[in-house]
């Protein structure tokens, strides 16, 4: 794939970014913190492509970027503390982890299937793009997994050139450091990731001390063993189906006894890992029902996104 690089100020550059994102493409967009690898947060295949382009070994939850408070409210529930923080710091480098709104249409891959969503209102061209698209953008930092976060278009190009459609160049980022992530919880405010907004600024704004999560750095709830686990038992690498098992299928191959399956969900009939990734959390959610006691999952290749899919399935199947 050819990656185009356009100056964010160039005539038609924002239009091009909006068109590309609307078609499910990936665009590296400058924000005041770092360049983000953006995709339509409501399009599962676009979100799956973000993980693939980054080479992320697992589906960490992503931040949903919004352009105004209305859009934030469409996806998340903001209590008084959250509203005060939003008023004081948005647009700006503060991310709030909030309860997902009941009617939110953010794809479950963005939240890694959690009931909370990380929301941020960025500054700069990203904001204009979100407003014109009319949907939130999912955007982790625009670098390959394990590399430093990119603060120039050139960094992005070196890391992701050839893997994404477009890079918007607005020069070096103002902060060059990711947003601070906080989570209101039980009347307290929890610091999940230190970042561009200081602890002092936040404590000043809310008149409360921040609580630091035990251990330092990012708390990634997506890494915890039982988060993806449906109520029933999950059997992986299934090459046959036993009576009463619910089948999660991948690809066009057949497994012995599939006519005995109580139900069947196809992650991707064509064996497309991107499609399977986009469908995975929805499939697990559908099977998380009291009448589903046993689930058999066909083998899924471990290359590309298959590694992350298998990682999540292993957590779903882990003894608990």
For residue 75, what are its two tokens? 């996806």
Q: Which stretch binds ligand TXA (CB under 6 A): 110-118, 153-161, 233-241, 296-304?
A: 110-118
For residue 291, what are its two tokens? 């009448």
Q: Which stretch binds ligand TXA (CB under 6 A): 57-65, 204-212, 233-241, 264-272?
A: 57-65
Question: Please, where are the H alpha helices in the chain?
Answer: 13-22, 44-54, 69-75, 80-89, 108-111, 125-133, 153-160, 199-206, 273-286, 305-317
Sheet holding 263-268, edge to edge: 233-235, 294-297, 246-250, 263-268
Whole-angstrom distance, CA of residue 139 vs CA of residue 65: 7
Residue 60 makes contact with ligand TXA by CB under 6 A: yes
| Interface map 169-198 toward ligand TXA (x if CB under 6 A) | ---------xx-x----------x------
- Binders in 212-231 for ligand TXA, by CB under 6 A: 218, 220-221
Nearest residue (CB) to Mg ion, 182 versus 247: 182
CB of 241 closer than 8 Å to CB of 258? yes
Partner that binds at residue 95, options Mg ion, ligand TXA, none, CB closer than 5 to 8 Å by kind: ligand TXA
Nearest residue (CB) to Mg ion, 191 versus 297: 191
CB of 98 closer than 8 Å to CB of 116? yes
Beta partners for residue 240, in sequence order: 256
- Binders in 10-39 for ligand TXA, by CB under 6 A: 31, 33-34, 36
Q: Which stretch binds ligand TXA (CB under 6 A): 55-63, 205-213, 249-257, 281-289?
A: 55-63
């Amino acid at each position: 794939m050819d990656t185009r690089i356009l100056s964010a100020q160039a005539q038609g550059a924002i239009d091009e970014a909006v068109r590309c994102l609307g078609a499910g493409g990936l665009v590296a967009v400058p924000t005041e913190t770092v360049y983000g690898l953006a995709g339509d947060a409501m399009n599962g295949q676009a979100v799956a492509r973000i993980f693939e382009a980054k080479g992320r070994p697992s589906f960490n939850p992503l931040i949903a970027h919004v352009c105004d408070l209305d859009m934030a409210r469409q996806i998340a529930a903001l209590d008084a503390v959250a509203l005060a923080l939003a008023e004081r710091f948005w647009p700006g480098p503060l991310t709030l982890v909030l309860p997902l709104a009941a009617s939110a249409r953010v794809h479950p891959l963005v939240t890694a299937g959690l009931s909370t969503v990380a929301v941020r209102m960025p500054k700069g061209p990203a904001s204009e793009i979100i407003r014109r698209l009319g949907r939130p953008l999912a955007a982790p930092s625009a670098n390959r997994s394990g590399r430093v976060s990119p603060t120039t278009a050139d960094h992005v190009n070196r890391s992701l050139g050839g893997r994404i459609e477009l890079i918007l160049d607005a020069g070096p980022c103002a902060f060059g450091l990711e947003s601070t992530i906080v989570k209101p919880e039980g009347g307290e405010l929890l610091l999940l990731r230190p970042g561009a907004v200081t602890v002092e600024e936040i404590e000043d704004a809310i008149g409360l001390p921040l609580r630091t999560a035990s251990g330092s750095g990012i708390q990634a709830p997506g890494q915890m063993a039982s988060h993806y686990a449906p109520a029933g038992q999950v059997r992986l690498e299934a090459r046959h189906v036993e009576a009463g098992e619910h089948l999660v299928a991948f690809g066009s191959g057949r497994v012995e006894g599939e006519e005995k399956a109580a139900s069947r969900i196809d992650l991707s009939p064509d064996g497309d890992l991107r499609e399977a990734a986009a469908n995975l959390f929805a499939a697990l959610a559908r099977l998380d029902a009291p009448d589903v006691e046993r689930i058999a999952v066909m083998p899924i290749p471990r290359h590309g996104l298959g590694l992350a899919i298998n990682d999540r399935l292993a957590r779903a199947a882990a003894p608990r």
